[in-house]
Structure 1
């Protein structure tokens, strides 16, 4: 027999029924929502195409930290930026460990603030100026500065020699402009230490700099060149004073007109060739003739990049005419490009006017493809005479031969190439190879590894000539083992 439900029981049943119905309605509504037209997703783009920014903050009893950091989708560009930021964090952490007792005793919190100022130079070209301020105890903190110039069109972090024509004379001129700017600023001039300024300006590869259409700015950390009262220092040199040293190709990108200079391409060494080499170091100049070759040259470039090695490519105008993009790729990778004439003729059997034509025609084609005029000449077959030397003198182009022949043109064997080079190489050698033989590309990885194990650094021919302070037309052969 079914028991009759009392009134309070009915009330409970009614509430349960209402709850079930409400729950079913919610489920149905959710299903309908999910199966209906998707909502429009709004994406917010950076005002700096190709750049984004991330900000990290942290707070503890001992310190506060705030880091704003622009970044790109290119890991190679991000890497040096990340490394600099990480270095500031590491220094800050070390400072906290040393000052821990002071911080606790004085109820003082340490601070690290890294901020970045982004300036657009041209389309997808930016300057990032970082300023890191940290204080881990005491009355004063310290400010450090770093700048990065980015060209996202080429996915490249620009170095000073990508922007400026650097040789001994131009570097001296730029140093003078920076000094003038520093001493003209009355707020900092009295705090400068001349010996520290000289040290900071000595090596251009270590300069911290940025560029805009108005100024080239050079940055110095607090205490780097002056007393602490001067703080972190910026020396802004007007772009009009820097125009003579700008590379024409870069100047065009930022819409700055470079003043014409008669024969300027032959008066200055290329920027990529500038480097301060240790006179006691072990250096080898690897050279590649007869290219560029669409199959072999890219393989050689990849291997050189993996070993962070530089080389000199003596190109034929006839090859560059067919593969201008590949020639430009060699230039963009930071290698030196020399002239190997237009058609690989034996120049010693030609009259002077034909020699000049072979050199100048090739030079013009290389310049059109790469944006630079080659400043070195290697005669085909290493054949030279008084006529060849006179043309080279007239054109102010040094003749470069070699001291070690890999015989890659003869053996066409990777093991034989390595054996020949390693048996004869010495510091200062100029090594002859050809980027038209696949066997040469096969030989290069092991050759570079072997040279590195013996302490050699691979540099360009012009770097060797600069180290030896060689002048004139030559010919230059390098050092023989």
Structure 2
């Protein structure tokens, strides 16, 4: 017989249930807060890429547990986008699952996990592109994990090219391609010692499982870290020269890529532009607005228009991966008299990279920016503001000061124009360096009112270099600016 529960007992049960529900809600809220953010709704993208029909979007996120940076090319064809998005989303899902498993370890060791997905693009014929993805994640331990994936896109047909679109798949061709790959693996002295032949042959056994891409002068086959070798070899690329593999290509495809389309010369003016070297008054009220992660084909243009109306100068810390897609936009920023700084190539956390990889991230971005604008960037902002002695050493060797910020608008978090303005105006002071991003439409929405408010308080908008000159700032830094 079940004893009748009296009123006090019911109260206790209700309170217990309420506590359980509250706890579940808290857990769900935390997971949602730490999940990669969705795409912004109704975002307008103007096709101004140097790759016709192909654009790129770089998304970044930072939490107490992890940092994330994803470069994601996309087209006007939903089916092509779907295949790319599915692979990228799979990497994100695996990453967030790993974070949940290692959450306690991350917190105990005061270590943030990191996911970086970068995409290299190569045009191999008219509207035919190869996208080479590399996903690196580290959620603890000494080493991270690298995975690779490629997509070959023919926008003339609006399709992802499959194996039989590119290669002859008769038995003889498959065997010969397998031999070429094995020969290449063993001829590479850096990795041959680590290769396990039985694993390599197993990975090549089924052509449907090959990971491959086509370039103008080579075909590349990819193997994930640990797939065919010891971990010391890392992720592996076997590059077969086109002359060797050409006999095994699909005849129609071979004709397409053999047609040599002359590269269009960059018709931009060689005339160099730079911000006016105006001597600043030591007693003046100056603030440096800085914009990270661009250029963006819509947002950057809106920001340039607003800055022009207010006769304001700013500093844009650009990603090499974005400039590669939108060189004309980077050039517009420079032509308008604004300053361009280096934000690395792929927005990786430099503090967890080795010295050579740090140099590569910074130097490659610098070359891309200089090619697009005619100006070599003279400032460096490490992604996430993360730096260590190795990053400082690279900055010193390259002669580029590291520039941080003293006022964070949190525009990446709020995505709200009013919130951005309130955050900046409540913290700004003479000599402040303000962090903004020219990839969020809400930031462009906020800028007109923000500039008006700053002007009413007597501020003049200048570049970071002008502030550093005023402070007599020298060396590698880092430089943070004044706090209100």
TM-score range, shorter chain: 0.3 to 0.5
Q: TM-score, normalised by structure 2?
A: 0.44
Between 1 and 2, higher relative CO (CA 8 Å, sep ≥ 6) is seen in: 2
Larger Rg: 1
Q: TM-score, normalised by structure 1?
A: 0.44
